[in-house]
Amino acid sequence: MHGTRFTKIYRVLCTLYSLDMMKLKFFILLFLPLFCNAQTKGTIIEELTRKTSWGGIVTIKSNPQINALIGKPSDEIDEVSVKMQGFRIQAFAGNQQRSRTEAEAIAREIKGLFPEVSTDIMYRAPTWRLRVGDFRTNEEATIFMRELKKKLPSSGREMYVVPDEIKVIL
């Protein structure tokens, strides 16, 4: 790769400047570090945050998970998610002995109707809760809750939108 690049540079220089061999060798040796430096660049984040010759420093505040994806071909990137504040639907809450079983049954029913929607059963003493979906806005959660209430009218009276930490796929 470097050979063909330098060969092209050599031909261009010989053609444009009609330099003899000694002058050309001197020119190449003089500017060779510049050509090599161009080949060793890192990611855009590394380049921007590197200290410059005039002393300037750029500070970039970003998620390390996103930084790890920079420069990778899209077919090499696994599914990446981040957690953020959003909204979920609380489809069930109960503190009876059979509450866990009820929450699991409702979760199975929801997964059967909407397989792409996440369901999480959690226990915070003394209550079992079933939370559904990962919505960025209250409006998105409310629209889905209406759809869920239509499909599950028996559980609909217990459903409401709650603020919660959600998982967002990047």
The pTM assigned to this predicted structure is 0.55
Q: Please report the pLDDT score of residue 60 as a whole number.
A: 76
- Is the C-alpha dihedral spanning 26, 27, 32, 37 positive or negative? positive
Domains (range + CATH), the chain? 1-40 (no CATH), 43-78 (no CATH), 81-169 (3.30.70.1070)
Beta bridge partners of 76: none
Which residue's structure tokens are 């855009």? 44
Q: Please report the pLDDT score of residue 65 as a whole number.
A: 72
pLDDT in tens, the chain (170 residues): 455 666 666 666 566 555 456 665 666 666 665 555 554 456 777 777 777 777 777 777 777 777 777 776 666 666 677 889 999 999 999 999 999 999 999 999 999 999 999 999 999 999 999 999 999 999 999 999 999 999 999 887 889 999 999 988 77
Q: String of b and e for 16-42 (b: at least 16 CB within 10 Å)?
A: eeeeeeeeeeeeeeeeeeeeeeeeeee
Q: Please report the pLDDT score of residue 12 as a whole number.
A: 63
